[in-house]
Chain A
Amino acid sequence: MSAIQNTIRIDNQAIPFTPGQTIMDAALAAKVYIPHLCHYPGLPPSGNCRLCIVEIENRSVAACTTPAAADQTICSNTPELNEARKALTQMLFVEGDHICPSCEKTGNCKLQAMAYYLGMLDDHFPQFYQRREIDASHPDILLDRRRCILCDLCVRASREVDGKNVFAIAGRGTKAHLIVNSPSGKLADSSIATTDLATTICPVGAILIKEQGYQVPIGQRIYDHHTIRETSLQEHIAGCDKLKRKEHQDTER
């Protein structure tokens, strides 16, 4: 009885969950991929990118922020939702300057990989060409806001994992932008380090480690060989292992 109670159905597939889990966590644990850009295993969810939209009784919700509940009937991998996800990806493309061929992140970029995964062939919407500041002040780390998709991952990673609170998002509407929590507002003035999760978590080429450009040649990069579906499922398993190790350490202490 309780086994049935703790089950949700995603696209007609029964998926077990533990109370407190989100739809996203339950799905990924069962190797069911729901596209996502602002979710990362182990970080508190945000719900800002809306790539993970699923439908419950014709209502759209974000899988990464919605708790799984017994007997939920969820649609995810439908042509309509994938079209909407593609349009949302196009929105993120036109909002920033994503000239992939000239970007160091190309081939390792989740936004680009998402576009491929969803079959996006053009931008569809007109470009915004917004002016956004670049911060090259730090000796080892570059912040190019023109490519930032405001996913809030670096903000959460710095606060929750690195324990530093280096970033925040400021401003409303399309004026929203990433700010650095330092007196000058510059990265050089902050406590960020190349080993921080905040530095490496950026899904796009907005936060880059300097002087490592093109070490891995184009053609041999992550998404030259894998889809974002594969890497995301992988990332979930790795993330869960890390969490388990951490909990284990915490209890031993």
Chain B
Amino acid sequence: MSNSCQHNSSNLPQEHLLHRLHALQQEYLHISPQAMQQVAVEFNLPLSQVAGIVAFYSFFSAQPCGRFHILFSNCTSCGYLLAGQNLMQLLAQQLQVTPGKTRADGLISIGETSCIGLCDQGASLLVNGIPLTHLNPDKIAQIAQQITANISMDEWPGEWFEIHDTIHRRNLLLTTQLAPGNALQQAITHGAAETLTTIQQSGLNGRGGAGFNTGKKWQLCREKLGDAHYVICNADEGEPGTFKDRVLLHHHAEALFEGMTLCAFVIGANKGLVYLRGEYRYLLSHLQTVLSQRRNQGLLGRHILNHADFHFDIDLVVGAGAYICGEESALIESLEVKPGIPRIRPPFPVTHGYLGQPTVVNNVETLIAAAHIVAHGSSWFNSVGTQKSIGTKILSVSGDCRLPGIYEYPFGVRIQQILDDCGAQRVQAVQIGGPAGKLIGAPDFNHTISFEDISTGGSFLIFGHQRDLLAVHRNFAHFFAHESCGFCTPCRVGTQLLKNNLDKIAEGRGTTNDIETLKQLAFLIQHHSHCGLGHTAANHVLDGLQHFPQVFATHLNQHFVAQFDLDQALESARQITRRDDAAAHLD
């Protein structure tokens, strides 16, 4: 943590505010008003900015959490609903704690959190920020025992925390490890302009979702004059069902930092930043080790590879639980110690990014691909893929299949091929690109993964024939309502209404009119929101209504139903009057 932002040339303080707040949260289990005031003074920030940040990020809390703070992933793949069992409820019962409320003695608090990127590791949770995988009722009972006995986490069985990365298919990027400095040496030999040409000729497009041409992005940034240029690696990987960046950060950090350094060489940056999602904090020490090795090898720091004026170093900044911070301008806001509210675009980060300066933001996989391209040449890369989608795509495959894990395919691979390879049978639906992506059924399994057909940042969620798809829609709708940054009306209010509407249908209180409302809401959110989160938040509903209308129709009520549950509405009155007799209920 101490090495972050050391090289900050701006007037931002030495330590990143997010790191300071994390340390306070760890130590005092919450961030008190007094602590916020102290931090505001320390960082010379308005108190409201500090309070705004504490309120924005899920992993900060103004109320004390338990000494054991457990967050279950609520993703459809690594979530706590396992074969009809609710693991979160199970643990809560055994420890006699209500989810969302810290137990009176302060020992334990249990809650849920958006996908933690362990979708290939079975049901998973974070305990004090550290992942624990492969959950089942047995393990839940054992965890409850450890906590009841107040046994420190250091003494919990080590294998509970093991993460087994499985790479099932390797292609261009995953077959070879780059020798450190190899690509950089090529770049220095050929010069920045020629290196940029190589990237441009490779046809590489961004792997983070939007698919913008990487050579073009680097060129625009390089051409823009500024006081400084920055390269940022987007390692926020928040799209539920995506975990390929987790595996890449763990096994290919060398190539990632090489790619960032190359980018710096091309655009003329002295400083790079990796924005790592808070859920991946456990990867921090590994990344720091690789960085310091590279510094020792002369691949980072001053006079890289003895080049007279090539100086570049990389800081790591860890997020604190906010999907929206994967959006590049929200990410930059977060780096600039603000809540992650997406900026007005244009201007785009390539011209007005970090601290208002020209900035390249690239996904982990994009930067790794760039390093390989410079090391092996553009034709090595563009011989693979389709005409419009060049190279390979690394997929995070999870859900109802025998072999979840990482699959690297040339672009153009058919969906059915992937399903066959991962041992998925009787597949009802696949959600490609995560909740923000596309939901398809069997008639579309002959489509391909590519920018021109079905594009994905990497998430590939498989739903077998026994899955309740309405529950999947509700899960996604809850995700977006929870993650909406709250800035603009259609997304802030619309995602909440969408969620309420799906819940209502699932409870059997929906009517055909609610289907019309779903469509209306989806249209409003999709077309009129401020940023990409809103633009994609209702995709799954529209896809579902198109491909799986019966999923909604079978739950609809044929008769008039009140908008709210009348009997339930009397509950608070019953509580106040301490009555629960028949007369205190409707019918």
**B-binding residues in A (CB < 8 A):** 45, 47-51, 53, 60, 62, 65, 67, 84, 87-88, 91-92, 94-95, 125-126, 128, 149-150, 165, 167-176, 179-183, 185
Q: A168-B52, A171-B56, A175-B55 are in contact. Are A128 and B496 (CB under 8 A)?
A: yes
Contact, CB under 8 Å: B47 / A182: yes
Residues A181 and B46 in contact in the complex (CB < 8 Å), given A168-B51, A171-B55: yes
Find chain A residues with CB under 8 A from B484 CB. Answer: 172-174
B344 at the interface (CB under 8 A from A): yes
Interface pair B486/A173, CB less than 8 Å apart: yes
Question: Known contacts A47-B344, A183-B37: does B46 contact A173 (CB below 8 Å)?
Answer: no
Task: Tell me the smallest distance from the CB of B484 to a CB of chain A, in Å.
Answer: 4
- List 15 A–B pairs whose Cβ atoms lie within 8 Å, in order of A's numbering: A47-B530, A50-B488, A50-B489, A88-B528, A91-B489, A94-B497, A125-B493, A170-B48, A170-B52, A172-B56, A172-B483, A173-B483, A181-B46, A181-B47, A182-B47
Contact residue among B51, B346, B482 (Cβ-Cβ distance under 8 Å from A170)? B51
The yes or no answer to B49 lying at the interface (CB within 8 A) is yes
Known contacts A49-B489, A50-B528, A183-B47; can you find 12 more A-B pairs with CB under 8 A? Answer: A60-B527, A88-B528, A91-B493, A170-B54, A170-B55, A171-B52, A172-B324, A172-B483, A174-B486, A176-B492, A179-B55, A181-B46
Distance between B140 CB and nearest chain A CB, rounded to angstroms:
29
CB neighbours (8 Å) of B56 from chain A are: 170-172
Task: Please state if B494 and A60 are interface contacts (CB–CB under 8 Å).
Answer: no
User: Pick the contact of B46 from A48, A92, A128, A168 — CB < 8 Å?
Assistant: A168
| Contact of A126 with B483 in the complex, beta carbons under 8 Å | no
A65 and B344 alpha carbons, distance in the complex (Å): 7
**Which residues 143-187 of B have a CB within 8 angstroms of A?**
none
A51 proximity list for chain B (CB < 8 A): 489
Contacts of A168 in B (CB 8 A): 46, 48-49, 51-52
Q: Which of B259-297 contact A (CB under 8 A)?
A: none
Q: Could you say which residues of chain A place their CB within 8 Å of the CB of B487?
A: 48, 176
Please judge, given known A-B contacts A48-B489, A174-B493, A183-B47, whether A169 and B52 are in contact too, CB under 8 Å. Answer: yes
Per the bound structure, the CA–CA distance linking A170 and B340 in Å amounts to 11
Contacts of A149 in B (CB 8 A): 489
For chain B, residues 463 to 493, give those with C-beta under 8 angstroms from any C-beta of chain A: 481-490, 492-493
Q: A45, A67, A92: which contacts B493 (Cβ < 8 A)?
A: A92
Q: Cβ of B51: which chain A residues have Cβ within 8 Å of it?
A: 168, 170, 179, 185
Q: Please tell me if the beta carbons of A126 and B524 are within 8 angstroms of each other in the complex.
A: no
Number of B residues with CB within 8 Å of any CB on chain A = 42
- Flag if A88 contacts B52 (CB, 8 Å): no
B366 sits at the interface (CB 8 A): no
Is B48's CB under 8 angstroms from A175's CB?
Answer: no
**B46–A165 CB distance below 8 A:** yes
Considering the complex of A and B, which 3 residue pairs feature the smallest CB-CB distances, nearest first? A176-B486, A181-B48, A168-B48
Task: State how many angstroms separate the Cβ of B322 from the closest Cβ of chain A.
Answer: 7
- A contact residues around B322 at 8 Å (CB): 172
Interface check B560, CB cutoff 8 A: no
Q: List residues of chain A with CB within 8 A of the CB of B339.
A: 170, 172
CB of B489 within 8 A of CB of A92, answer yes
Interface membership of B520, Cβ < 8 A: yes
Q: Which of B49, B55, B493 contacts A95 (CB 8 A)?
A: B493
**In the complex, chain B residues whose CB is within 8 Å of the CB of A65:** 344
- Residue in B346, B492, B527 whose beta carbon sits within 8 Å of that of A174 in the complex: B492
Residue B121 at the chain A interface, CB threshold 8 Å? no
Q: Is B495's CB within 8 Å of the partner chain A?
A: yes
A126-B500, A185-B33 given; A87·B486 CB < 8 A? no
Q: What are the residues of chain A within 8 A of B575 when measuring CB–CB?
A: none
Distance in angstroms between the alpha carbons of A167 and B52 in the assembled complex? 11
Chain B 32-68 residues near chain A, CB threshold 8 A: 33, 37, 46-49, 51-52, 54-56
Q: Is the CB of A94 within 8 A of B48?
A: no
Interface residues of B in 210-243 (CB under 8 A from A): none
Smallest beta-carbon distance A95→chain B, Å: 5
Q: Is the beta-carbon distance between A84 and B46 smaller than 8 angstroms?
A: no
- Whether, in the assembled complex, B359 has its beta carbon less than 8 Å from a beta carbon of chain A, the answer is no
Question: Which A residues lie within 8 Å of B77 (CB)?
Answer: none
Quote the shortest CB–CB distance from A128 to chain B (angstroms): 7
Looking at the assembled complex, report how far the CB atom of A151 sits from the nearest CB atom of chain B, in whole angstroms: 9
Query: What's the least CB distance linking A23 to chain B, in Å?
Result: 13
A126 with B55: CB separation less than 8 A: no
Write the nearest CB–CB distance from B167 to chain A, whole angstroms. Answer: 35
For the complex formed, measure the closest distance between the CB of B21 and the CB atoms of chain A, giving whole angstroms: 14
Q: Which residue of B lies closest to A58 (CB)?
A: B527
Contact A126 B564 (CB under 8 A): yes
Docked CA distance A51–B530 (Å): 12
Closest to A91 in B: B493
Task: Find the A residue at minimum CB distance from B490.
Answer: A50
**Within 8 Å CB of A170, what residues of B?**
48, 51-52, 54-56, 339
Instruction: Pick from A165, A173, A179: contact of B495, CB below 8 A.
Output: A173
Whether B528 lies near A45 (C-beta < 8 A) is no
- B486: A residues at CB distance < 8 A: 150, 169, 171-176
B48 and A180 contacting across the interface, CB-CB below 8 Å? yes
Tell me how far the C-beta of B81 lies from the nearest C-beta in chain A, rounded to whole angstroms: 22
In the complex, which residues of chain B have a beta carbon less than 8 angstroms from the beta carbon of A87? Answer: 520, 524
B528 → chain A, closest Cβ, in Å?
5
What is the chain B residue whose CB lies nearest that of A62? B530
Is there contact, CB below 8 Å, between B493 and A94? yes
Contact B490 A45 (CB under 8 A): no
Give the contacting residue for A91; candidates B55, B344, B490; CB below 8 A.
B490
Q: Does B529 contact A (CB under 8 A)?
A: yes
Is B563 on the interface with A (CB-CB < 8 A)?
yes
Given A48-B488, A92-B489, A168-B48, residue A174 in contact with residue B481 (CB < 8 A): yes
Contact in complex: A60, B528 (CB < 8 Å): yes
